[in-house]
Chains A and B, each alone.
Chain A
Amino acid sequence: DAKTTQPNSMESNEEEPVHLPCNHSTISGTDYIHWYRQLPSQGPEYVIHGLTSNVNNRMASLAIAEDRKSSTLILHRATLRDAAVYYCILRDTGNNNAGNMLTFGGGTRLMVKP
């Protein structure tokens, strides 16, 4: 899977929007962009994923650059419960990736201040 680059940490104020960036300059045409987050003392949980178009769900929005070399996870109103490590992961579904494996990097540790 192609590599992603994320800032090590970010801070946000409660009730404000948060934009978490991810660079993936070597992304291939069949790579999906996935975001997971890991709350303290828990296993990771799925947040959102997309291929080319921007995506919205109840947890967040995903904005994908036109050239797909970067993406941004948007939390519209950060709460204290959103403090977690956010992972941006590319997963290739175009080849024989029958394992559906995810390769986790270091992620971005989001701190939310009250």
Chain B
Amino acid sequence: EADIYQTPRYLVIGTGKKITLECSQTMGHDKMYWYQQDPGMELHLIHYSYGVNSTEKGDLSSESTVSRIRTEHFPLTLESARPSHTSQYLCASTSQGETQYFGPGTRLLVL
């Protein structure tokens, strides 16, 4: 059973607000990822991290930013939310092994 958590699970917020989506894992995994998924559509990688103080942009351009100050924590921040940011955001992590573990996701609605 994977121990990866995301909060909040659901967020409704107005345009222009700053938001931070939290992701934490207790498995000591070095590599962590953020994916974005619109309803019924494919997952797209937007950020990833090899470890502490390492962050990289993924395949899909995103206005969000991430940080990795602690191994277990990989928050994603939107400085000024817009309706185009409405989507589901999924966090994942992996160890040296092959398996990627996903959190339950955060569903964001920007009005």
Q: Which of B71-109 contact A (CB under 8 A)?
A: 90-92, 94, 98-105
A-B contact count (CB 8 A): 52
A100 & B42 in contact (Cβ 8 Å cutoff):
no
Contact residues on B (Cβ < 8 Å of other chain), bracket: 20 to 34
Which of A43, A98, A106 sits near B102, CB closer than 8 Å?
A43
Residues of A contacting B: mostly: loop
List A contacts of B56 (CB < 8 A). Answer: 99
B31 & A49 in contact (Cβ 8 Å cutoff):
no
B32 CB to nearest A CB, Å: 10
Tally A residues with Cβ within 8 Å of B.
22
A44 & B102 in contact (Cβ 8 Å cutoff):
yes
Residues of B contacting A: mostly: strand
| Contact mask for chain A residues 85-97; partner B; CB cutoff 8 A; 1 contact, 0 none | 0000001010000
List A contacts of B91 (CB < 8 A). Answer: 43
Which residue of the partner chain B has the closest CB to A104? B43
List A contacts of B94 (CB < 8 A). Answer: 100
Chain B contact residues, CB within 8 Å of chain A: 31, 33, 35, 42-45, 48, 50, 56, 58-59, 90-92, 94, 98-105
Chain A contact residues, CB within 8 Å of chain B: 32, 34, 36, 41-46, 49, 91, 93, 98-107
